[in-house]
């Protein structure tokens, strides 16, 4: 998963862009980059957190009113700095951009661009391929005036060739800024506007993966870029918008469960409220089980909202018994199992006074491999708990995500080919309770019934883009397995 922001300001944009980017740090902690334009492109990217990559020196160098920022966690490639975004091309006009998502036919496109168009794709970053496909279309018009119509047709050309999920922000030098979402709108992208203090100045426009990134800049109007649609802002700051695909909207349900910030609104759904609803709905299921529960306790931070809702519905005590060390990164980013296990213990610590002699309902957003859950159950037992019921407010995860969330390979899912009793045994809990898939979808959909269905392929194996073949499953599985191996080899060097 990644985060992307594009701002079209009237003055130097870098300080606004930097503060806005801090709101998407949770979407990728592997690398980050900022690109600005003031007649030429200026670019700084690096590995690590935003605060460690940018300093006064490189911020001063990032001049211009136009800026694109990106935070990355890699789904393709080894995470080297060459693969970090934004990317830029110097033909046909100079095009720069960044995206959030994952291109499923990346390797095929890379080969096609090389064989047929003699383009060398240097990186393993899928944005380089998107940029090249887009550029290939508008190159034909390089001696003409580039109209919004040509730009929109270029996006259609991207839709035709590029498969997977992508929410893209581009800047075409001297022509304008463009934001578009893939035909199914799998990944979020918001568009916003704010009027500057001086009335004779034009509005400032922005695109962002989460609404929070624009609301922290006090944008007045924030709305979603429609799925399969593009919004183009020309150099005079005129806005053009076009729907370019009529595929059904299938936003990623996992954004609400885990990924996005609770203060964001995506696709007309507030993330916090959807987690309250997920909690309410799971509470109904738990109530029917008539369990002897003394306290409800969340696995911080994502499960806090749903846990409070569960405790309230069940009229039980809510107790925060696990303390999180905020200064350790997300554990699933670590490729090596041992490193992951160790860092879970450093990340969470139990409060004995909360758990001793209690029957505990522990609530988490999801169970992926089960390493976190196993370590937590152990921890809570050691702190003196009598019984531990482990509830996941999402359904069992059993399939890899090809659209940008790194679920790793299929074999690693603890819920695959296992009953709930077996899962409970594997993680050491007395009982495991999952949200039913219908309730999960209904809870998130409650705020926007216009969305007929979400992407929930990681729970069902039903991939909405319809292009994930058995061969691709095997291929991507192998690529991922090799990726993990090569990360480990690099680490051991
Ligand atoms: P696991 O069951 O793999 O040990 O870890 C599950 C925990 O990882 C949950 O607490 C959940 O918050 C977190 N998690 C959420 N999203 C992801 C993801 O995309 N990938 C992985 N591996 N873990 C995630
Ligand atoms: Fe989101 Fe899962 Fe679909 Fe991936 S497979 S886009 S994580 S719902
Ligand atoms: Mg968690």
User: pLDDT of 120-149, one tens digit each?
Assistant: 888 888 999 999 999 999 999 989 999 999
Strand partners, 4: 70
- Hey, what are 271's tokens? 């993330």
Which pLDDT band, with edges at 50, 70 and 90, does 197 fall under?
Answer: confident
Average pLDDT in the 384-397 region? 98
Q: Is the pTM of this model over 0.85?
A: yes
What lies within 8 Å, CB to CB, of 485 at 6+ separation is none
Q: Ligand 1 within 6 A of 400 CB?
A: no
Query: At residue 485, does pLDDT exceed 60?
Result: no
Strands 359-364 and 387-392, bridge-based pairing: parallel
Q: What is the tens place of the pLDDT at every residue in 392-409?
A: 999 999 998 999 887 656
Are 1 and 100 in contact by the 8 Å Cβ rule? The answer is yes
Q: Angle, nearest 10°, between helix axes 148-161 and 126-139?
A: 130
Give pLDDT, residue 434: 98
Q: Which of 254, 267, 332 for mutating ligand 2's site (highest number of atoms within 8 Å of CB)?
A: 254
Give pLDDT, residue 211: 98
- Residue ranges of domains in the chain, CATH in brackets: 3-249 (3.60.20.10), 273-449 (3.40.50.2020)
Please give the helix or strand (H or E) that residue 67 lies within, else none: strand 66-72
Distance, in Å, from the CA atom of 122 to the CA atom of 253, rounded to the nearest integer, reads: 33
Average pLDDT in the 41-55 region? 95
Distance, in Å, from the CA atom of 409 to the CA atom of 463, rounded to the nearest integer, reads: 16
Rg (CA), the chain: 23
Are 390 and 425 in contact by the 8 Å Cβ rule? The answer is no
Are 287 and 489 in contact by the 8 Å Cβ rule? The answer is no
Q: Ligand 1 within 6 A of 372 CB?
A: yes
Give pLDDT, residue 488: 39
Ligand 1 atom 11 nearest Cα: 366
Ligand nearest to the CA of 331: 1
Ligand 2 atom 2 nearest Cα: 458
Ligand 2 centre to CA of 457 (Å) is 6
Query: At residue 76, does pLDDT exceed 60?
Result: no
Ligand 1 atom 20 nearest Cα: 407
Query: At residue 491, does pLDDT exceed 70?
Result: no
Are 195 and 237 in contact by the 8 Å Cβ rule? The answer is no
Are 451 and 464 in contact by the 8 Å Cβ rule? The answer is no
Kindly write down the DSSP assignment for every residue of 164-230, as one continuous string: EEEEEEEEETTTEEEEEE-TT--S--EEEEE--SSTTSPPEEEEESSHHHHHTTT-SEEEEPPTTEE
Distance, in Å, from the CA atom of 245 to the CA atom of 182, rounded to the nearest integer, reads: 9
**With pLDDT > 70 as the criterion, what percentage of the chain qualifies?**
91
Distance, in Å, from the CA atom of 252 to the CA atom of 210, rounded to the nearest integer, reads: 13
Residue ranges lining ligand 2, Cβ < 6 Å = 186, 252-254, 401, 403, 405, 455-458
Distance, in Å, from the CA atom of 85 to the CA atom of 99, rounded to the nearest integer, reads: 8
* Reduced DSSP (H G I as helix, E B as strand, rest coil) percent helix, strand, coil of the chain, to 5: 35, 25, 40
Instruction: Answer with the residue of higher pLDDT: 82 or 55.
Output: 55
Q: What is the tens place of the pLDDT at every residue in 412-470?
A: 899 999 999 999 999 999 999 999 999 999 999 999 999 999 999 999 999 999 888 88
Q: Which atom of ligand 2 is nearest to the CA of 253?
A: 8
- Hey, what are 209's tokens? 């993966």
Ligand 3 centre to CA of 169 (Å) is 29
Ligand 2 atom 1 nearest Cα: 252
For residue 373, the SS3 value is: helix
For residue 64, the SS3 value is: coil
DSSP 338: H
Ligand nearest to the CA of 27: 1
Q: Which atom of ligand 1 is nearest to the CA of 344?
A: 4
Q: Ligand 1 within 6 A of 109 CB?
A: no
Residue from 278, 272, 320, 277 nearest 296 by CA: 320
Q: Ligand 1 within 6 A of 368 CB?
A: yes
Give pLDDT, residue 345: 79
Q: Which atom of ligand 1 is nearest to the CA of 369?
A: 3
Q: Ligand 1 within 6 A of 371 CB?
A: yes
> How many other C-beta atoms lie within 10 A of the C-beta of residue 353?
10
Q: What is the tens place of the pLDDT at every residue in 303-335?
A: 999 999 999 999 999 999 999 988 776 555 555
Q: Say which residue the tokens 């996992």 belong to.
A: 254
- Hey, what are 207's tokens? 């695109």
Burial class (CB in 10 A: 0-12, 13-18, 19+), 264: buried
Cα three-residue angle 395-401-406, rounded to 5 degrees: 100
Ligand nearest to the CA of 332: 1
Q: What are the residue numbers of the active site?
A: 2
* CA distances (Å), origin 57, targets 60, 62, 235, 249: 5, 9, 29, 43
| Mean pLDDT rounded to a whole number for the chain | 91
CA torsion sign for 300, 404, 490, 488 is positive
Residue from 493, 408, 399 nearest 455 by CA: 399
Ligand 1 centre to CA of 93 (Å) is 42
Cα three-residue angle 126-130-131, rounded to 5 degrees: 115
Q: Which of 298, 330, 332, 391 for mutating ligand 1's site (highest number of atoms within 8 Å of CB)?
A: 332
């Amino acid at each position: 998963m990644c985060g992307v922001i594009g701002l079209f300001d009237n003055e130097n944009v870098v300080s606004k862009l930097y503060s806005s980017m801090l709101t998407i740090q949770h979407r990728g902690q592997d690398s980050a980059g900022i690109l600005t334009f003031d007649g030429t492109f200026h670019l700084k990217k690096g590995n690590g957190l935003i605060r460690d990559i940018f300093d006064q020196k490189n911020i001063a160098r990032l001049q211009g009113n136009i800026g694109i920022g990106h935070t990355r966690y890699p789904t393709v490639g080894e995470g080297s700095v060459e693969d970090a975004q934004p990317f830029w091309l110097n033909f046909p006009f100079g095009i720069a951009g960044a995206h959030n998502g994952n291109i499923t036919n990346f390797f095929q496109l890379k080969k096609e661009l090389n064989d047929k168009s003699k383009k060398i794709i240097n990186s393993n970053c899928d944005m380089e391929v998107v940029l090249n496909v887009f550029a290939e279309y508008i190159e034909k018009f390089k001696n003409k005036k580039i109209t919004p119509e040509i730009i929109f047709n270029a996006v259609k050309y991207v839709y035709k060739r590029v498969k997977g999920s992508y929410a893209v922000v581009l800047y075409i030098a001297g022509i304008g800024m463009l934001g578009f979402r893939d035909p199914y709108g799998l990944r979020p992208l918001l568009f916003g506007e704010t009027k500057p203090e001086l009335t004779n100045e034009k509005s400032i426009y922005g695109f962002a993966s989460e609404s929070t990134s624009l609301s922290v800049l006090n944008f007045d109007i924030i709305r979603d870029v429609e799925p399969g649609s593009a919004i183009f802002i020309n150099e005079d700051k005129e806005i053009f918008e076009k729907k370019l695909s009529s595929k059904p909207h299938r936003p990623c349900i996992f954004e609400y469960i885990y990924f996005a910030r609770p203060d964001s609104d995506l696709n007309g759904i507030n993330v916090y409220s959807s987690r309250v609803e997920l909690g309410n709905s799971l509470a109904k299921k738990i109530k029917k089980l008539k369990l002897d529960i003394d306290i409800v306790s969340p696995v911080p931070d994502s499960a806090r909202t749903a846990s409070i809702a569960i405790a309230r519905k069940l009229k039980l005590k809510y107790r925060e018994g696990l303390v999180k060390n905020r200064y350790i990164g997300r554990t699933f980013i670590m490729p090596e199992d041992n490193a992951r296990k160790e860092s879970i213990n450093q990340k969470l610590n139990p409060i004995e006074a909360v758990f001793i002699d209690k029957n505990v309902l522990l609530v988490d957003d999801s169970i992926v491999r089960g390493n976190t859950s196993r370590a937590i159950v152990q921890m809570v037992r050691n702190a003196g708990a009598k019984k531990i019921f482990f509830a996941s407010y999402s359904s069992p995860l059993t399939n890899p995500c090809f659209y940008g969330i790194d679920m790793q390979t299929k074999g690693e899912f603890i819920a695959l080919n296992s009953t709930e009793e077996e899962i409970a045994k594997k993680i050491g809990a007395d009982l495991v309770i999952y949200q039913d898939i219908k309730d999960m979808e209904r809870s998130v959909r409650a705020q926007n019934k216009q969305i007929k269905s979400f992407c929930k392929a990681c729970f069902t194996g039903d991939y909405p883009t319809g292009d994930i073949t058995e061969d691709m499953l095997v291929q991507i599985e192998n690529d991922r397995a090799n990726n993990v191996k090569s990360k480990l080899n690099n680490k051991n060097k």
